[in-house]
A and B are shown apart, each in its own frame.
Chain A
Amino acid sequence: MAADPVTGAAPAKAALWRRPVFRSTVFQVLLILGVVAVANYLFTNTLQNLEQRGISTGFGFLSNEAGFGIVQSLIDYDETYTFGRTFLVGLLNTLLVSGLGIILATMIGFVMGVARLSKNWLIARIATVYIETFRNIPLLLQILFWYFAVLQPLPRPKQSLELGEMFFLNNRGFYHPVPVFEQGFNLVFAAIVVAVISIVFLARWAHRRQEETGQPFHTVYVSLAILFGLPLLVFLVMGSPMSWDYPALKGFNFTGGGVVIPELMSLLLALSIYTGSFIAEAVRSGILAVSHGQTEAAHALGLRAGPTLRLVIIPQAMRVIIPQLTSQYLNLTKNSSLATAVGYPDLVAVFAGTTLNQTGQAVEVIAMTMGVYLTISLSISTFMNWYNKKKQLVER
């Protein structure tokens, strides 16, 4: 406490309960005690009630045999695996659709956001119509539209649309050949790793050279050449150690090859097109936030339109775009739980659906599911905050 401005005398020491530090500490301790007490009460009360009603509790059910099949799994799974395994299968399916959705939505969003600002009347109108249409239709309707109106009316397996006897599209999904790696293919993977590492060094070298001499280097083209050329060379030298497994109609369905089920396709299309329209608007707002003087200055320095956008506008626009992008990514991930509407086996459909119903342990299952979404969302937001910090204006 400061001295009294009028009398200049030191103030009398305030009573203990009037001191701000003491008060705030006491109140915080009381609050935390209260929170703990309520949480403890709710927890024990729930357990007691569950026991009283003869409902099984605990996580022991996770090691019981599941006994049901799942249409799509990224890891080995059949009905002899455990309920714990169904959790992993569902989780991976959720991560798959969210991950692919985020990549696709970002690509669509950036292209459409820039296109909406295009000077070309047609391109700008097309982007506007896309954004305004898909942004304003509820997501669930879009998922159902893609599933029931677009993918279900496709021909049946025997009348599949085909491309060169390798790709087949029918109402059971999109069937494609998958590569079968043979002995010696490991070297090709090694070549890819070597290519990536050398590209990193190349980019550093090119950057340094440009700083020193002002000479630009075609990093992108050379990188692409290394990335594809080196593995291809190794591949040919090793005598093409790879074959293809083609899908073929056998009995009722196609066997062999790989399949993208229509449930995944419809969900992915709807999620990425819907979220893409929001990202497009975020991109547009970011670009418009960069003052026009920046463009003029870049032109005055002799930069053409492409490099101006890439080197001047986008880096500055990113500072506005990233926070909005983060919340769109979070939305997309959480919206992926609408999968259950079309029967895509995501975490909510498989684990919080079938597994919950077969075991009846609603409290445990829902808590785990909520925990997963919380973890995914917090991870995305942590990563995006780190990225945002990196892209923020560094004041010198």
Chain B
Amino acid sequence: MNSAAGDMDAFVQPHFLKNLILTSTRGNNRTMKKIVLATSALAFCAAVSTTAFAGATLDAVKKKGFLQCGVTTGLPGFSSPDDKGNWTGLDVDTCRAVAAAVFGDAQKVKFTPLTAKERFTALQSGEIDILSRNTTWTLTRDSSLGLNFAGVNYYDGQGFLVSKNLGVKSALELDGASFCIQAGTTTELNLADYFRANKMAYTPITFDTSDETSKAFDAGRCDALTSDQSQLYALRIKLKNPDGAMVLPEVISKEPLGPVVRQGDDEWFNIVRWTLFAMLNAEEYGVTSENVDKMAASSKDPNILRLLGQSGIKGQGLQLSDTWAASIIKQVGNYGEMFERNVGQGSALKISRGLNALWSKGGIQYGPPVR
């Protein structure tokens, strides 16, 4: 806003301005009003257009020395800060892995907490380099927001959390119920679809953050809380009485969640996409954060040698160092390690792998070959 005022000053010398104000107040003050209107319109346009097209994100990130990553305002398992301000979670680790690939240092990340409503604008405007915020990949988002989904780091589906003393065993018994939802999510749309398809009535109560939805659910403002299943488990452990609430069996939607980048920068898109693939390949070949150095030195498996930058194209195509994948695995771990630590058996959420197991183990997580 200030910049627009500055532009105006550059155009008009103070002398002129004084002259103008004098004449306008003496006569009618319409001219002044028009000018005030025009100035505010200008200020608005300036706010939108100041960020020129960013160009190569990789160069910009390298130049500033850290990765700016958009995350949630606090969702256990995916992205939440501890009392010292350290962020942990699956989405956080995805960003750390990208930082490890680019800088060889997983700590070179700064996190921007965003509500669901703010997230796309933050990425579009260049405020963040990557959005790793529990975001569902949909046609609209991929095609009309100027954004690209780089992959899927968690396959999820929408479910319902209800209080046990409601006595409900299935979502189909929820006719007439009210639901706490987070605003600006696919959840809002799926809920509407599901109730319309099943000819049931519902009342949506929408809040800005997932924290507010769970607070309202706790206070009894709504009968059920609906969100992605993984979030339901995460929100449940934050309730006053977690054992008093249960997740219903129905999964009413497909929610492939993954990191998002701006459209039009294929180089950066490839880096984020292959960061995910490297972690999946590492799990498939049994490379972990503990054995990665040993594997690089002594493995005879050509797949592993190519992944760890000992042979093949190495980091060349992505314009990264040859050990980009090795840095990711050493500092963040492979996909399995990341999953278990944040949302799996090593965490409070204890979510089983399910769809997120590797393709070779009954899931659908699949990394294209590194060659």
Listed in ascending order, the chain A residues whose CB lies under 8 Å from chain B are: 23-24, 27-28, 30-31, 34-35, 38-39, 42-43, 45-46, 49-50, 52-56, 67-71, 79-80, 148, 152-153, 156, 171-172, 250-253, 255, 262-263, 340-341, 343, 345, 349, 353-354, 356-360, 362-363, 367, 370
Residue from the list B31, B48, B216 in contact with A343, Cβ < 8 A: B216
Q: Which of B175-189 contact A (CB under 8 A)?
A: 175-178, 183-185, 188-189
In addition to A55-B145, A341-B208, 11 A-B residue pairs with Cβ atoms within 8 Å of each other are A42-B45, A42-B46, A46-B45, A49-B53, A53-B264, A172-B221, A251-B176, A349-B206, A354-B183, A356-B184, A362-B121
Contact B117 A354 (CB under 8 A): yes
The docked-state distance in angstroms from the alpha carbon of A71 to that of B201 is 12
Say if the beta carbon of B219 comes within 8 Å of chain A.
Answer: yes
Question: For A358, what are the chain B residues with a Cβ–Cβ distance below 8 Å?
Answer: 140, 184, 188-189
Question: For B53, what are the chain A residues with a Cβ–Cβ distance below 8 Å?
Answer: 49, 52-53
The docked-state distance in angstroms from the alpha carbon of A56 to that of B142 is 11
B103 to chain A, nearest CB (A): 26
Q: Which A residue's beta carbon lies closest to that of B163?
A: A156
Question: For B205, what are the chain A residues with a Cβ–Cβ distance below 8 Å?
Answer: 71, 263, 343
B22 to chain A, nearest CB (A): 8
Say if the beta carbon of B198 comes within 8 Å of chain A.
Answer: no
Question: For A45, what are the chain B residues with a Cβ–Cβ distance below 8 Å?
Answer: 49
Residue from the list B49, B121, B196, B216 in contact with A46, Cβ < 8 A: B49
The docked-state distance in angstroms from the alpha carbon of A69 to that of B179 is 11
Question: For A262, what are the chain B residues with a Cβ–Cβ distance below 8 Å?
Answer: 221
Contact A343 B206 (CB under 8 A): yes
Question: For A349, what are the chain B residues with a Cβ–Cβ distance below 8 Å?
Answer: 183, 206
Residue from the list B44, B116, B191 in contact with A367, Cβ < 8 A: B44
Q: Which A residue's beta carbon lies closest to that of B215?
A: A148
Contact A27 B178 (CB under 8 A): no
Listed in ascending order, the chain B residues whose CB lies under 8 Å from chain A are: 7-8, 11-12, 16, 19-20, 23, 31, 35, 38-39, 41-42, 44-46, 48-49, 52-53, 116-117, 119-121, 124, 140-141, 144-146, 166, 174-178, 183-185, 188-189, 191-193, 196, 202-208, 212, 215-216, 219-221, 223, 262-264
Question: For A35, what are the chain B residues with a Cβ–Cβ distance below 8 Å?
Answer: 8, 11, 35, 38-39, 42
Residue from the list A53, A70, A152, A343 in contact with B146, Cβ < 8 A: A53
Known: A53-B53, A362-B121. A340 touches B208 (CB 8 A): yes
- 24 residue pairs bridging A and B, Cβ less than 8 Å apart: A27-B16, A35-B38, A35-B42, A38-B7, A46-B45, A52-B53, A53-B263, A56-B144, A68-B188, A68-B204, A71-B205, A171-B219, A171-B221, A251-B177, A253-B203, A343-B208, A349-B183, A353-B184, A354-B184, A357-B116, A357-B185, A359-B144, A360-B121, A360-B124
Main secondary structure of the interface of A (DSSP, over half): helix
Question: For B221, what are the chain A residues with a Cβ–Cβ distance below 8 Å?
Answer: 152, 171-172, 262
Residue from the list B19, B140, B204, B263 in contact with A23, Cβ < 8 A: B19
Contact A39 B38 (CB under 8 A): yes
Main secondary structure of the interface of B (DSSP, over half): helix
The docked-state distance in angstroms from the alpha carbon of A340 to that of B205 is 11
Q: Name the residue among A27, A252, A340, A370 with the largest chain B CB count within 10 angstroms.
A: A252
The docked-state distance in angstroms from the alpha carbon of A80 to that of B196 is 10
B220 to chain A, nearest CB (A): 5
Residue from the list A24, A46, A53, A343 in contact with B20, Cβ < 8 A: A24
Q: Name the residue among A148, A253, A359 with the largest chain B CB count within 10 angstroms.
A: A253
Question: For A250, what are the chain B residues with a Cβ–Cβ distance below 8 Å?
Answer: 176
Known: A255-B176, A343-B205. A360 touches B41 (CB 8 A): no
The docked-state distance in angstroms from the alpha carbon of A349 to that of B45 is 22
Contact A357 B117 (CB under 8 A): yes
Q: Which B residue's beta carbon lies closest to that of A341?
A: B208
Contact A360 B45 (CB under 8 A): no
Known: A23-B19, A71-B206. A53 touches B48 (CB 8 A): no
Contact B44 A370 (CB under 8 A): yes
The docked-state distance in angstroms from the alpha carbon of A145 to that of B146 is 40
Known: A39-B38, A55-B145, A69-B191. A343 touches B117 (CB 8 A): no
Contact A42 B184 (CB under 8 A): no
Residue from the list A68, A340, A363 in contact with B48, Cβ < 8 A: A363
Known: A23-B19, A358-B189. A38 touches B175 (CB 8 A): no
Contact A24 B220 (CB under 8 A): no
Contact B20 A31 (CB under 8 A): yes
The docked-state distance in angstroms from the alpha carbon of A30 to that of B11 is 9
The docked-state distance in angstroms from the alpha carbon of A354 to that of B208 is 9
- 5 A-B pairs with the lowest CB-CB distances in the bound complex, closest first: A357-B184, A42-B45, A55-B146, A79-B192, A360-B145
A252 to chain B, nearest CB (A): 5
The docked-state distance in angstroms from the alpha carbon of A318 to that of B11 is 44
The docked-state distance in angstroms from the alpha carbon of A357 to that of B121 is 8
The docked-state distance in angstroms from the alpha carbon of A370 to that of B43 is 13
Residue from the list B11, B19, B46, B124 in contact with A55, Cβ < 8 A: B124
Q: Which B residue's beta carbon lies closest to that of A361?
A: B144
Known: A55-B124, A55-B144, A56-B144. A67 touches B189 (CB 8 A): yes
Question: For B146, what are the chain A residues with a Cβ–Cβ distance below 8 Å?
Answer: 50, 53-55, 360
Question: For A156, what are the chain B residues with a Cβ–Cβ distance below 8 Å?
Answer: 220
A43 to chain B, nearest CB (A): 6
The docked-state distance in angstroms from the alpha carbon of A352 to that of B135 is 19
Q: Which B residue's beta carbon lies closest to that of A56?
A: B144
Question: For A252, what are the chain B residues with a Cβ–Cβ distance below 8 Å?
Answer: 166, 174, 176-178, 223
B122 to chain A, nearest CB (A): 10
Question: For A253, what are the chain B residues with a Cβ–Cβ distance below 8 Å?
Answer: 176-178, 203, 223
B242 to chain A, nearest CB (A): 19
Contact B176 A353 (CB under 8 A): no
B15 to chain A, nearest CB (A): 9
Question: For B204, what are the chain A residues with a Cβ–Cβ distance below 8 Å?
Answer: 68-71
